[in-house]
Amino acid sequence: MMKQWQVAKRILPLLAVFSLLLSACGREDLSVMKPQGPVAQGQYDLMKLSIAIMIVVLIIVFAIAAYVLIRFRRRAGQNEVPEQVEGNFKLEVIWTAIPLLLVIVLAVPTVQTIFAQGEDLSKDKNAIQVKVTSHQYWWEFTYPQYDVTTSQDLIIPTGKKIAFELKTADVLHSFWVPSLAGKMDTNPDGTVNKFSFSAPNEGVYRGKCAELCGRSHAFMEFKVKAVSQESFDRWVNEMKAPAVLPEDTQLAEKFKTNCLSCHAVGDQGGPVAPNLTGIGGKEAVAGILLNQREGQEEGNPVLDNMKEWLHDPQSVKPGNTMPNPKDLGLTDEEIDGIAEYLANYKLDYE
């Protein structure tokens, strides 16, 4: 018993060092190893447990291997034949039993976590319901309780449980916000997936599509923005306010005929393409062109990003279904005008 404790005492500091090493990895808004919510935390705890067990296994195997390889090399002049050992029943039972034990240690919390995190909150009145619909290559978020639809930036109140219903409009995608929760696939109708997470702290978290979905799979990113309850309520109100159209009536007309056949702003337009309400205030243009934010070096001014996108959508997201505005008969000035209008279309809720 004493001896075993000695072994444990030697391994513990190693584990501590290792978990420090792990937690030094990656950005807070992105890394699995810096969980920012209870769901990701639970998954991270499970990982730490399994990593700990596995490191112990690795140490034992590597130690035996190193010992054997050094101790039993064939030396010069060694010609007698070594004893031909058939096996050892006791030893073999031991190394069947120990892995089995380790598996049980890992299996019990695994099953517990599966059922704890797999709870269906879709009927829960206290949870914010969000229907996620994935498209090649953008994300649509609908809040049925508030009758609001947005795209790319998922706005949620801090501390509230968010209950998701996931489906896809075309191919399979996978909804993943590493620092808040593991991923879940978006299947077509009939196999709609449900899961939930919450974010206790305000912040912007990076989301990714994790299932190969075509040419712009890598560019199908989104953001989860956790804000205070008051800000969230204000955001809902702003979203429901009537649309703000370009002041220049000619441009407004162009925008209506060319863009609003697919896109929507406020109460106008269609549901085929990303909802543009308040797009100027979003974290990125097209999900991948990061907008400059206060106190952060990353990103370009939103106007530049908007122009880059509108002048050649295919170069930003190859294979996307948006027609090139030039092909719709818009002049460069008109495109710039629309870019300017969209870049300045911000909602005031923070």
Question: Pick from 41, 187, 231, 321: which binds another protein (CB under 8 A)?
Answer: 187
- Determine the Cα–Cα distance for residues 195 and 64; give it in Å rounded to an integer: 44
Contact indicator for 200, 157 with CB cutoff of 8 Å:
no
Site string for another protein, 164-183 (x = CB under 8 A): ------xxx-x-x-xx-xxx
| Nearest-approach distance from CB 134 to another protein, in angstroms | 12
Contact indicator for 216, 171 with CB cutoff of 8 Å:
no
| Nearest-approach distance from CB 330 to another protein, in angstroms | 26
- Determine the Cα–Cα distance for residues 309 and 255; give it in Å rounded to an integer: 16
| Nearest-approach distance from CB 194 to another protein, in angstroms | 8
When the beta carbons of 171 and 204 are compared against another protein, the nearer one is 171
Contact indicator for 180, 205 with CB cutoff of 8 Å:
yes
Give residues 278-337 in contact with another protein (rule: CB under 8 A): 288, 290, 298, 318-319
Question: Pick from 9, 74, 90, 123: which binds another protein (CB under 8 A)?
Answer: 74
| Nearest-approach distance from CB 98 to another protein, in angstroms | 8
Q: DSSP code of 243?
A: P
Q: Does 215 bind another protein (CB under 8 A)?
A: yes
Nearest CA among 220, 129, 215 for reference residue 173: 220
List the beta bridge partners of residue 134. 139, 168
Give residues 219-278 in contact with another protein (rule: CB under 8 A): none
Q: Does 61 bind another protein (CB under 8 A)?
A: yes
Which strands sit side by side in the sheet containing 162-168, from one edge to the other?
A: 148-151, 138-143, 128-135, 162-168, 193-197
Q: DSSP code of 67?
A: H
Stretch that binds another protein, among 26-34, 273-281, 304-312, 324-332 (CB under 8 A): 26-34
Q: Does 214 bind another protein (CB under 8 A)?
A: yes
Site string for another protein, 76-115 (x = CB under 8 A): --x--xxxxxxxx--xx--xx-xxx-xx--xx--xx-xxx
List the beta bridge partners of residue 209. 175
Q: Which two tokens stand for residue 43?
A: 């998954």
Q: Does 46 bind another protein (CB under 8 A)?
A: yes
- Judged by CB under 8 A, how many residues of this single chain contact another protein? 94
* Enclosing H/E stretch for 189: none
Q: Does 62 bind another protein (CB under 8 A)?
A: yes
List the beta bridge partners of residue 139. 134
Question: Pick from 12, 14, 68, 272: which binds another protein (CB under 8 A)?
Answer: 68
Contact indicator for 330, 338 with CB cutoff of 8 Å:
yes
Q: Does 65 bind another protein (CB under 8 A)?
A: yes
| Nearest-approach distance from CB 175 to another protein, in angstroms | 9
